[in-house]
Amino acid sequence: MAEVALNVEAPVDAVWAVLADGWSYAGWVVGASHIRDVDEGWPEPGTRIHHSVGPWPLVISDTTEVVRCEPRELLELDARLWPVGAARITFTLHALGESRTEVRMAERVVRGPSTLMPKVVQDVLLTPRNKETLQRLDDLAKGRQ
């Protein structure tokens, strides 16, 4: 499982506001290029973001679905990218005071051909991407303060 963490210079409410805004997904998730729709009620379990991944014109359209949501604490997603596969992504938030939040992002491939890659290779590929994802999340959360 590829896991990264970042201490964000923003309160937990600002970080959660970004996670809870499905329309912002392409602004901070590395690889997401376009949001086509967000189900009403996002981020309630079962709701989805309908997104595209990749540079135009080589985009793949798919969805990411909320598996579990504990507002201001945890968001667990099932991110699909067929034909490559799907990953389970979990964000956990921990307030480090009034103006700082520890954000942890854990990702593991759960379905599809990508599961055939050794875990160490998955980690090598996912870790830099996920560090950049958290850095972008940090920037947006700071901007919402």
Structure-block tokens of residue 23: 């329309």
CATH of the domain at 132: 3.30.530.20
Q: Which amino acid is at 90?
A: T
Q: Tell me how far apart the alpha carbons of residues 138 and 20 are, in angstroms, rounded to a whole number.
A: 14
| Total tally of structural domains belonging to the chain | 1
Q: Which domain holds residue 78?
A: 2-144
Q: Where are the alpha helices (DSSP H) in 6-80?
A: 12-19, 25-28
Examine the pLDDT at 145 and tell me if it is beyond 80: no
Output the pTM of the full model. Answer: 0.93
pLDDT in tens, 83-118: 788 999 999 999 999 999 999 999 998 898 887 788
Element housing 108 (H / E): strand 101-111
Q: Which amino acid is at 81?
A: L
Those residues with Cβ within 8 angstroms of residue 140's Cβ, 6 or more apart along the chain or in another chain: 18, 24, 27, 28
Name the residue among 73, 15, 91, 82 with its Cα closest to residue 51: 82
Identify which of 34-48, 53-67, 77-91 has the greatest average pLDDT: 34-48
